[in-house]
Amino acid sequence: MFDLSKLLKSIHLSKISFYFLIFLILISFSITFYLLLPNNDLVKDPQRLQYFLLADVIFVILLISIIIRQIVLILVRRKKSYDESRLYIKFVNLFAAMALGPAIGLVIITSLFFNLELRTWYGDAVRDAVVNSNIVAKNYENEIQAELISDTQLITREILQSSQNNEVNINNVQKALSEFINLRTISSIYIFNDKANIYLSLKDNERKNFSNPSAEIYNILNQNQVYIFQLNNNSIAAFKKIIFLDNVYIQVNRELNTNIWDHISSTKEAYRIYTTKEEESSGVQITYSMIFVLFSLCFILIAILIGFNLASNLSKPITNLIKSANKISDGNFDAKVSEIDQFDEIKILLSSYNSMISEIENKQNQLIAKSNEDEEKRIFIEAILSLLTIGVLSLDKNFNIVLHNKTVTNLFKNTKKFIVGENFLSLFPEWEKIFNNFKLSKKILLNFQYDFTFIDDQRNFNIRVIKEISDNIIEGYVVTLDDATSLILAEKHAAWSDIARKIAHEVKNPLTPIKLSAERIEKKFLNEAYDKDEITLLTKTISRQVDDIGKLVDEFSSFARMPEAEIKLDNLTLCLEDAFNLYFNSRKDVKLTLVKPKTDVYFQFDKMQISRCFNNLIKNAIEAVEKIPNPSVEVKIFYKEKIIIEIKDNGVGIDDKMISKIFEPYFTTKSKGTGLGLSIVKRIIEDHGGKIKIEKNKNMAGTTSLIVFENNV
């Protein structure tokens, strides 16, 4: 089937050919314009002008053909609904409107001015001025000629009067004419025959201004007529035949005002040209209008073609960008745009676009690699979670379930259904207060235990909640549920075994002196050889050992039955100060120092339990410095994002090997200690979300007890 668009595309001009054609057109029209300039000798050759006008017409027809081809291509593309042609058509319409609008307006206005100006040139006012000037010039010329004719007649009469019997006396004539010439505006007089022999010359002895008449002039003179002619630029002359003398003629020269005579000549010439041009004005108007229209049409067509070219140069890269973007949206990153033969600005745009494509491709490859890596990690984590004996749940910031492993369902023996998207606290409403308080606090980690009963089977769960924080904003939570029933039972059995062993050891020590004292008392009574003082000493020994056993039992009871903390907002600085003052007022032998901030520190805590901790730590510090010179204890509390309490002494210190065991139950460095005091302190501090450690001083002897609390206000 015949394809018109392919045929038109095959008929095209290259960029170099197009600009060469424009150059030829400009040269042709410039030459034509030059030939049309006034006073140009070349314009006298109309054939040459016609050749160039014909060439101009051919160029205009060629331009129209090219534009028609472009318009047909646009219509074909529009009919086929090419998406890429829409932008090109918009650019063409824009540039065509920009080229045609001002050009057509200029043509109309210029044509109007040309016609108005031409009418002004050949209007009544100009015509009257030219005609009247010509009349004045003719009248003045006629007047000069009349005077010159009158002078020739008077000279003839003077010659006649000076003649006697038809004989001319040169001397008499010369005398008479000399007197006459002085009275008139005559520059010179010549009397001569038809052979140009001069009989008499007045005021021009050298005869420079004498002019020999031609045969035609002699014929005119022989008819008794006066022949007047312009001798030179500033004088005119007249020939006349002296009738009463045979073959005798006179030439009378008269000088004129040069400027006046030039103006008269110019006026006559102007009148002649004006009348000629007036007769040709209609033709000139039509001719110049057609030439002007031809010129205007040519430049309009050039502007339109340049607009087509610019539209193509602008729309093509943008269309290529659109095609490339569509291909890229389909995942083809090889669809880059060519940067060849483009404007610098467009080239920069295309270069940036291609760089962006490369960057997007690299980023996509990185994202794909990262996604694959994350998918592998997800599969790996899911595999690990499925193997864990601990239940793991991921919650969003509103405690909705995002992810969980199968172990969670198994732990609760299918009594609870964990569904993604469901609120976790709806399954455990009894934990709502705990979770909300944790959400409002600054803690990162929450630990608590909870007992569940499944079909008469009581299980103990250890629950741990961790916040997921990004830019100081909570994004979610991770909850782990660990069935610690077996572990707790094992720990309890082990703890009770250890406690029983240690209690047996601690009780056995005082039983030996008790037994020995009882045996000695029994022996004294049996032998009736008892001494009252000795008996008293032995009974005191028994009583003292029994008291030690009672103290041990009390400490054990206190450690085993720690009361539930009553946490509320209170003044931590004041609590520490009360514990400090208890020893400050009673131990004057020790230098006690309290350092506190200007503003009291408030904290959520159980006042009785924390006071017990402070008392125990200050008491331990004082006991560590009792036997050294210059004993001192410094108690300090300050706040730097966290609450920090330091109790520092300058005692003998503690061995590094013992520091790691110092918080273990029943471990003590004192001769009469139970080893439960610091264990109780550590448990209370940790129940309040804090940490405690004991370390050796760096720049001095002694130790420092350091307590750190997260600010939970």
Q: Which of 307, 309, 290, 313 is nearest to 60 (CA)?
A: 290
Q: Which of 494-508, 591-605, 678-692 has the lowest mean pLDDT?
A: 494-508
Q: Are residues 623 and 655 in the same domain?
A: yes
- Whether 117 and 187 map to the same domain: the answer is no
User: What local confidence, expressed as pLDDT, does residue 574 receive?
Assistant: 92
Q: Hey, how many other C-beta atoms are within 10 angstroms of the C-beta on 614?
A: 23
Give me 451's structure tokens.
Answer: 């007992």
**Which residue among 481, 510, 528 closes a domain?**
481
How many whole angstroms separate alpha carbon 569 and alpha carbon 587? 31
Residues 307 and 417 occupy one common structural domain: no
**Cα separation, 4 vs 8, whole angstroms:** 6
Flag whether 129 is in a domain: no
SS3 251: strand
Give the burial class of 621: count Cβ atoms within 10 A of its Cβ; 0-12 exposed, 13-18 middle, 19 or more buried. buried
For 31, list phi and psi in degrees, rounded to 5.
-65, -40
Q: Which residue has the higher pLDDT, 541 or 638?
A: 638
* pLDDT value of position 23: 79
Q: pLDDT band for 424, please (50, 70, 90 cuts).
A: confident
Q: How many domains does the chain have?
A: 6
Tell me whether residue 430 is in a domain: yes
Helices (H), 251-343: 258-329
Please state, in angstroms and rounded to a whole number, the distance separating the CA atoms of residues 257 and 140.
12
Q: Are residues 649 and 531 in the same domain?
A: no
Domain boundary among 559, 580, 613: 559
Which residues touch 642 (CB under 8 Å, ≥6 apart)? 708, 709, 710, 711
Q: Give 597's contacts (C-beta < 8 A, 6+ positions apart).
A: 573, 637, 638, 639
Mean pLDDT for 218-237 is: 83
The domain of 506 spans 489-559
Read off the tokens for 658. Answer: 């013992």
Does 195 reside within a domain?
A: yes
pTM of the model: 0.33
Q: Are 712 and 441 contacting, i.e. CB atoms less than 8 angstroms apart?
A: yes
Element (H, E) at 30: helix 15-35
Exposure on the CB side of residue 143, measured as CA atoms within 13 A:
9
Q: Which residue has the tokens 């943008």?
A: 318
Residues 6+ apart with CB under 8 A from 713: 569, 602, 603, 604
**C-beta separation of 650 from 591 below 8 A:** no
Query: Angle 121-123-125 (CA atoms, 0-180°, nearest 5)?
Result: 100
Strands 632-640 and 163-164, sheet pairing: unpaired
Residue 295 lies in a domain: yes
16 and 91 fall within a common domain: yes
**Which pair of tokens denotes residue 534?**
């000795």
Question: What is the SS3 string spanning 682-697?
Answer: HHHHHHCCEEEEEEEC
Q: Is the CA virtual torsion 267, 268, 274, 277 positive or negative?
A: negative
Residue 121 one-letter amino acid: W
Please identify, among 481, 497, 519, the residue that sits at the C-terminal boundary of a domain. 481
Q: How far apart are CA 288 and CA 298, in angstroms?
A: 15
Q: 700 and 571, same structural domain?
A: yes
For 443-485, strand residue ranges (E) read: 445-454, 457-470, 473-483
Band (pLDDT 50/70/90 cuts) for residue 670 is: low
Mean pLDDT value across residues 673-689: 78
Indicate whether 126 belongs to any domain. no
CATH of the domain at 645: 3.30.565.10
d(CA 408, CA 416): 9
| d(C-alpha 691, C-alpha 680), whole Å | 13
Note whether 376 and 466 are same-domain residues: no
How does residue 643 score in pLDDT terms, banded at 50, 70 and 90?
very high
Note whether 587 and 695 are same-domain residues.
Answer: yes
Nearest C-alpha neighbor of 298 from the set 48, 57, 34, 53: 57
Neighbours of 599 (CB within 10 A): 8
Terminal CA-CA length for the chain? 87
Q: Is residue 435 part of a domain?
A: yes
Report d(CA 85, CA 447) in Å as an integer.
69
Among candidates 628, 620, 616, which has minimal Cα distance to 670? 620
Spatial contact of 466 and 445, defined as CB atoms under 8 Å apart: yes
Do 91 and 153 belong to one domain?
no
Looking at residue 634, its pLDDT comes to 92
| pLDDT band per the 50, 70, 90 thresholds, residue 116 | low
**Residues 620 and 668 grouped into a single domain:** yes
Kindly indicate the confidence band of residue 86, based on its pLDDT and cuts at 50, 70 and 90.
low
Residue 134 inside a domain? The answer is no
Q: Is 127 a member of any domain?
A: no
Place 707 in a pLDDT band, splitting at 50, 70 and 90: very high
Which residue type does 267 have?
T
Average pLDDT, the chain: 76
Average pLDDT over residues 321-341: 71
Which of 440 and 115 is assigned the larger pLDDT? 440
Q: How far apart are CA 105 and CA 283, in angstroms?
A: 25
CATH code (residue 155): 3.30.450.20
Quickly tell me which residue has 């690990």 as its tokens. Answer: 384
Is the Cβ–Cβ distance between 207 and 253 less than 8 Å? no
Instruction: Check which CATH number belongs to the domain holding 518 and give it.
Output: 1.10.287
- Domain shared by 551 and 577, yes or no: no
pLDDT in tens, 425-471: 888 888 888 888 888 888 888 888 888 776 666 778 888 999 888 88
Together in a domain, 458 and 591? no
Q: What percent of the chain has pLDDT over 90?
A: 5
Please give the average per-residue pLDDT across 83-91, as a whole number.
Answer: 64
Tokens in use for 472? 């100081």
DSSP state of 589: T
pLDDT cut 70: percent of the chain above it: 68
pLDDT in tens, 99-114: 666 767 766 776 666 6
Q: Which residues pair with 447 in a beta bridge?
A: 464
